[in-house]
Structures are given as C-alpha cells and as structure tokens.
Amino acid sequence: MVRGTFIAVNDIIKRDDFNNDNYIDISYTDSHSSSLVINMRNLSKGFSHSVSESVGYLTYPNALAIGHLNNDTYKDIALTNYYTDYLTICFGSGDGKFERKKHLTTNRLRYSRSIALADINHDLVDDIIVSNSDHNTISVFINRGDGNFHDEKLSYLLTDFSPEHIVLGDLDDDDEVDIVISFEFGNKLIISFGNGLGYFSETNHLYLEDSSDILAIELSDLNSDHHSDILIVQREPYTLTIVYGCSDRSFHREKIFSIRKSVSMAWLDIQFINEDHFCHASFEIINKSLEYGAPSKIMSIALVHFNNDDHIDLFFFLRNPFDILFYPGSKEEILYGREIFNGRNFIWVNYIAVSNFNNDNYIDLSYVDSQKGDLVIRIGNGAASFGDPVSYSIGNLTCPTAFAIGHLNNDNYTDIAVINYHAELLSIFFGLGNGKFAPEKHLETKRLTFSRSIVLADINNDSIDDIIVSNSDNNTISVFMNRGDGKFHDEKVSYLLTEYSAEHIALGDLNGDNEVDIVISYEFGNRLTISFGNGSGYFNVMNHLYLQVSSDILTIELCDLNSDNHLDILIVQPKPYTFTVLYGYGDGDFHHKKIFSPDSDVSMAWINVADINKDSCKDIVLVDRETQTPRIFMNKCLCSHNKTIETNTLTLH
C-alpha cells in the first residue's frame, strides 16, 4: 500500500486475481495521477506489491470494469475517463501487469459515470457498456473477439437526469443481457431489455416508494427463485429496498431496512457467506481446421484417448460409403487426419460406439449394419488401427438402429443391448471378455415398436444395469429390470402423453435423491420432458420444459459442466444453430444459458464431452454437418476455483 502520498481514489474499487496465484488482488483508479493501480496480495505480506499503469495526462479515470476483452484467458480492465471522449483498455498478461493498452475513441463518450462488461451477443467474449451523463445515453461496444471493437451503438434514455449507475443481468429469462440504470438525482430506475444486438430500446420506468436519490444498485438472486432481483440504497431516509424479479418483466418491491437519518454516500456489496453459490461455466472457443479434408456425410463423432499420448483424439464416422477418419489430438490449429479404413461398399450404419471389449486397455469399435441386420465388432490394436470386422447376426429385416454398452449379467464382462426398428424385440449379446460375444438372446415384447434410443442404467440400485428404451410408435418409455443374471422382469411402460415421437433419452440423478431420472427430447419441437425416477422402473410424473429457441432438438447430453456436483443438460438445436446449457440446481430445477448461436442453420450436429486438457473440468466438441469444422469449447474451470468468501458488516444504532 502506498503511504504518505496524496491519491484521489474514486468510489470504484474492484477485486480479482490478476496474476493467477489464487489470491485476490485489488484494483482502483487514481484520478490525481491518471493511473490504474493494482495492489497484489500474497499470503505472507498481504497487499504489499503495488503496480501503477499510466492512463494518460489529465484523463481523470473514474470507473473500471474487469473481464475478458480478447482471446486469451487473462483478466483485462476497461476504464472510463471523465474528461476525455475515449475509453482506456488495459490488456492483462497474466502476471499482474497491464503493459499493453489501447484507447477506444468516440465523440459521444463524455462525462461517463459507469462501465460494465458483459457478453451481449453470445460469442464468449465480453463487450463494453458505458453510461454517459453529458447527453443521457448508453454506449455499447461489441467486441470483435480479438480486443478490437465494432462501432459504438447508442441507446437514448429520453430523460432529464444524468445516468449514474448501471448493472447488467438477465431480468426476463430470455438469455439476453438487460440493463438497470439509476440517475444522479431522483428515485427513478430505468429497466431496459436487451435483444443481443447491443441496443436497449424498450425501456420501463420504475419509481421507488421513497422519493430521495439513489446511491447504489446491485443485481442478485436473493430469494433463490432463479430470477434476478434489484437491490437499491437511497439517501434520505437511509433505505435499502429490494425489487424482486418475477421473470415476466414484472417486479415486487419490499423495503428491507430504513432508519430516520440521511447519509451522503453508501456502498452496497453482495457476497456468498457459504459455498453453496451458483456459477456458470465459462468457455474459450477454439476452431480447428481439418487437413485431410472436410468429411462428408458425418454419422457420428467420438472423443477418446486412442494412440497413447496426452491428447484426446477425434474420430469421424461416415456413411455412404462407410468410413472412419482419425484425427490425433494436437494443440495446433490444424488437425492432421488419416483414413482408418474405407469399406467402399454400401453399409447402412446408423449407430457406432467405442469401448474396450477384450480388457487390453485399447479402444475397440462397435456398430450395427442395419441393412444386413448385424452387430459388428472391430478390435483395436493400440496403433491407431483396427482388426478385421467380426459380425454377429441379429436377423434379416430387423433393422437394428442403436445399441448401448454396459453390464447385463454378473460376470463383469462388457455386454451390448441392441434395439431393432422393425422388430418387437431387443437383441442382447453377452461379452466373453476376450473381444468375442455369445450368440444373440432375444428379449421380446409387444410394446417395443419403432424404438429410437436405448440406454443402460442401474434403476433399482442393485449394481447391475437395467435397460431403458424410447418407443416412437406409441410415445412410451419401456424399462426392463434386470434379475441380476442377464434375465429380465416383465417390461414396465411409462406413457409420455404427447403427440410427438420420443427421439433421444438421457439418464442421471437430476434432483439429488440417488434415483435415476430421465430426460426425453422429441422428433419435432423444442420441448424436453423430465421425469424423476423412484427406483421402481416407472416414470410417472412428466415435467415439460420448453426451450427459448423454437426449433427441433438435434441431440442432448448430461454432464456436470460447472463443477457443482449437479448434472446439467446440454442441448443442440438446428434453426438457428444453437448450443444451450440447462444448468441444474440439484433440486430438479434448471437455469437456461445460451452458450453459442451463430447466425446460421444446420441440418445435423453432434456433441461430445471429455476432459480434453486434463484439468478436471468437462470440455465440449461440437461438429455440424454444414461447416464440418470441430469447435472445441475449452472449459476455463472458473467455477471450481471460485471459493473466495467475503462479508460486509453493518452496525445499526
């Protein structure tokens, strides 16, 4: 800390970890010397190391915001300068220094009071939002993704008072950034709802009960209803008010604290005092190009450790003709691939999966040939190649379409269950542990017709897998409870009570009761059905959830993206091409978050989840049929490290 020197510190002091040592550092602006000051903290000496970065002579920096403003993973800082018409951006280098700076000039930026950073347009990089008191506007600078910005976008507030404070968040659950604005004088808030384009055109005026000026505002979900609430401090009388959000653009006011005295200034801070808080995963998008050429007619993708190096490898499975392309993992922008084999014959492969069938720690390949009615196994040799195909007959005209891999008897060997689109039966192949399988066993049922998806899971907690199937002909879910020896109880049927055909299913514990729950998507429409299991094999209570994007659902996955030990739902939709995460709260409720949505449509896309860089956080690979470019969403693991707890104490007399 600097002692014995005059500095003019403004109201805005921000805390963050600027040098990646997991200790909180402090940043503020010194308007007297026109500098950005960083106080670095270490465990033994406290805030002992100060770094000062000049902003410019007589600029009078008065507010700052912290975020990610280019395509690295280091923290950057954007500052407003009260007496100039430009912003200053200080790009962090990850060591606590901000030596690279740039000015963002505009003739409209004058007497700026507040600045905030947020991802306005869903491209995973922060944009800049500034309030200007000279002409009562909000300026938005959309980031190009590399620290350069598009032309300023202006929203006019149409009010007589100068904007003072701004806070940003999603106030109406449409996954777009909205803004709350308070003013230098008066008891009015303006709430304006964003559209993802950088403009705030629809404004709503909200007048508080007390008529005095507003000193501070914040956004937080105080009542755990998954909607943002507005916290407001006023001057005279000294009052704390909460405006509770209701997601439909309506609000309910409640005065929390008020004493019969006036104050000249007050500060408001919100921190979790325990570790049960909620955090969104943050991603860095890496686009890879394919040296071998764009694979056409993609059927599926897979991420596996295949060639015994430290990188996750990528497989493309193609049809017409059936082919496999192998791209070894690499940090390079270009992935250099090769053809594993080319059948050069027409093989109608609907589903493909990888596993280790002979316990040699090498990846093996399995798929179904729907035309011949065969299950096909190819054993891997650990050298990025496979042995000759071994076929297991299911039967002509059965049209096997999908299968699931697990343990269906008590021998600990890997087994396979296959659904047949044109037959009222399941085909079960029990593994022998050496890469071979016993002849097919039939599991017949009159209700299994036109089945689309199959999953294996331990429904009744007896440590052996049961079989769950979705049937599109009668819109049902069939469950076959395992007796423990590879034989099954009679089928249990749950009715979906919907006009659309069930397409994809995913299973996991979504509400923390240690029972298997199910998520179902449909052939058409933007609806998911979530049903919570009770261990009996029935899914009786169907909860329907409609996505914000109205197009069909291409694929769903379950995994824990934000390291809170609760399963999240990953969803890909085609029109527009959208990747959405429903973050689970662990109680059966979810929060929508749109992750990626370019201005394009696709006909098909695939998603796969793996820890690519071995940091214990789930990363994502997304591939679509049109661009055929792997997009890698590298999880920054910000949630798993966000453990700082701070408190503010307020004593009342």
Residues 66-116: pLDDT tens digits?
999 998 888 999 998 887 888 899 999 888 888 788 888 776 666 788 899
Per-residue CA distances from 513 to 127, 570, 588 (Å): 40, 21, 10
Q: Is the pLDDT of residue 651 over 70?
A: no
Could you read off the pLDDT of 163-210 as tens digits, one per residue? 889 999 988 888 899 999 999 888 889 999 888 899 887 678 888 888
pLDDT value of residue 641? 42
Contact of 605 with 626, CB cutoff 8 Å:
no
Contacts of 227 (CB under 8 A, 6+ apart): 171, 173, 221, 244, 245, 246, 247
Distance CA(176)–CA(195), nearest Å, equals 6
Per-residue pLDDT, 517: 95
Residue 346: the pLDDT is: 61
The span from the CA of 571 to the CA of 522, in Å, is 12
More reliable by pLDDT, 11 or 175: 175
Give the integer Cα–Cα distance in Å for 151 and 527.
38
Confidence check: pLDDT of 412 > 70: yes
**Residue 187 exposure: Cα atoms within 13 Å on the Cβ side:** 14
Strands annotated E in 481-601: 492-495, 502-508, 517-522, 527-531, 542-546, 555-559, 568-574, 577-584, 590-596
Give residue 292's pLDDT.
67
CATH architecture of 280-639: 7 Propeller (2.130)
Residues 314-325, mean pLDDT to the nearest whole number: 78
CA-to-CA distance for 31 and 63, rounded, in angstroms? Answer: 10
258 or 647, greater pLDDT: 258
Residue 294's pLDDT is 55
Please tell me the pTM assigned to this model: 0.66
Closest CA to 72 of 310, 285, 334: 285
Estimate to the nearest angstrom the gap between the alpha carbon of 202 and the chain centroid: 28
**CA pair distance 324, 300, nearest whole angstrom:** 10
Virtual CA dihedral for 364, 369, 375, 378, nearest 10 degrees?
Answer: -20
With 80 as the cut, is the pLDDT of residue 460 above it? Answer: yes
User: pLDDT tens for residues 121-144?
Assistant: 888 889 999 988 877 888 999 999
d(CA 402, CA 419): 6
pLDDT at residue 619 is higher than 60: yes
Give residue-wise pLDDT tens across range 501-527: 888 999 999 988 999 999 999 988 899
What does the pLDDT average to over 583-603? 85
> Has residue 50 got a pLDDT over 60?
yes
Identify the pLDDT of residue 14.
Answer: 80
Does the pLDDT of residue 45 top 60, yes or no?
A: no
Cα–Cα distances (Å) from 569 to 136, 572, 590, in that order, read 42, 10, 9
Q: How far apart are CA 58 and CA 133, in angstroms?
A: 19
- Distance CA(239)–CA(243), nearest Å, equals 13
Look at 22 and 187; give whichever has higher pLDDT: 187
Percent with pLDDT over 90 in the chain: 26
pLDDT at 604: 86
Q: Is 80 exceeded by the pLDDT of residue 533? A: yes
> How much is the CA Rg of the chain, to the nearest whole Å?
29
Fill in the amino acid letter for 325.
L
Cα-based torsion angle of the residue sequence 128, 131, 132, 133 in order, rounded to the nearest 10 degrees: -170
| Band (369; pLDDT cuts 50, 70, 90) | confident
Strand ranges inside 472-539, DSSP E:
476-480, 492-495, 502-508, 517-522, 527-531
Average pLDDT over residues 277-288: 76
From the number of C-beta atoms within 10 Å of its C-beta (0-12, 13-18, 19+), residue 341 rates as middle
Highest mean pLDDT among 192-206, 219-233, 555-569 belongs to 555-569
Write down the mean pLDDT value for the chain.
82
Cβ–Cβ under 8 Å, residues 417 and 397: no
Q: Predicted confidence band at 47 (pLDDT cuts at 50, 70, 90)? A: low
Reference 196, options 174, 163, 229; nearest CA is 174
Pair of tokens at residue 369: 């040939």
Is residue 301 within 8 A of residue 316, CB to CB? The reply is yes
For residue 397, what is the DSSP state? T
Phi/psi at 209 (nearest 5 deg)?
-65, -45
- pLDDT category of residue 447 using cuts at 50, 70 and 90: low
Which of 621, 613, 555 has the alpha carbon at shortest distance from 315? 621
Mean pLDDT on 291-316: 73
> Using CA atoms, how far apart are residues 628 and 290, in angstroms rounded to an integer?
9
pLDDT tier at 643 (50, 70, 90 boundaries)? very low
Q: What is the mean pLDDT of residues 392-407?
A: 89
Task: Give the per-residue pLDDT at 429.
Answer: 96
Percent of the chain as helix, strand, coil, to the nearest 5 = 0, 45, 55
Determine the pLDDT at residue 645.
Answer: 28
Q: What local confidence, expressed as pLDDT, does residue 278 receive?
A: 59
What is the number of helices (H) and of strands (E) in the chain? 1, 50
Q: State the Cα angle at 387 between 384 and 389, rounded to 5°.
A: 130
- Going through 274-414 in order, the beta strands assigned E by DSSP cover 283-287, 289-290, 298-304, 313-318, 323-327, 334-335, 338-342, 349-355, 364-369, 374-378, 390-393, 400-406
Amino acid at 421: Y
Average pLDDT value for residue range 359-386: 86
Summarised one tens digit per residue, pLDDT across range 197-225 is: 998 876 788 888 888 889 889 998 877 77
> Within 10 Å of residue 508's Cβ, how many Cβ atoms?
18
Amino acid identity of 227?
H
pLDDT at 355 over 70: yes
Least confident stretch, 213-227, 287-301, 348-362, 398-412: 287-301
| pLDDT given at position 507 | 96
Average pLDDT of the residues in 280-284: 80
CA 506, 402, 469 angle in degrees (round to 5)? 50
Q: Give the pLDDT of residue 408.
A: 95
CA dist 534 to 8, 127, 498, 507, 651, Å?
A: 62, 45, 22, 13, 49
Distances in whole angstroms, Cα of residue 245 to Cα of each of 221, 248, 285, 548: 9, 8, 32, 19
- Provide the pLDDT confidence category of residue 12 given band limits of 50, 70 and 90: low
What is the rounded distance in angstroms from the CA atom of residue 544 to the CA atom of residue 57?
59
Q: State which of 98-107, 177-186, 268-277, 468-477 shows the largest mean pLDDT.
A: 177-186
241 strand-pairing partners = 232, 255
Question: Does the structure show a pLDDT above 60 at 274?
Answer: no
Instruction: Identify the sign of the CA torsion 629, 365, 518, 566.
Output: negative
Percent of the chain with pLDDT over 70: 88
What is the per-residue pLDDT for 46? 58
Using the predicted structure, report yes or no on whether residue 644 has a pLDDT greater than 60: no
Per-residue pLDDT for 646 more than 50?
no
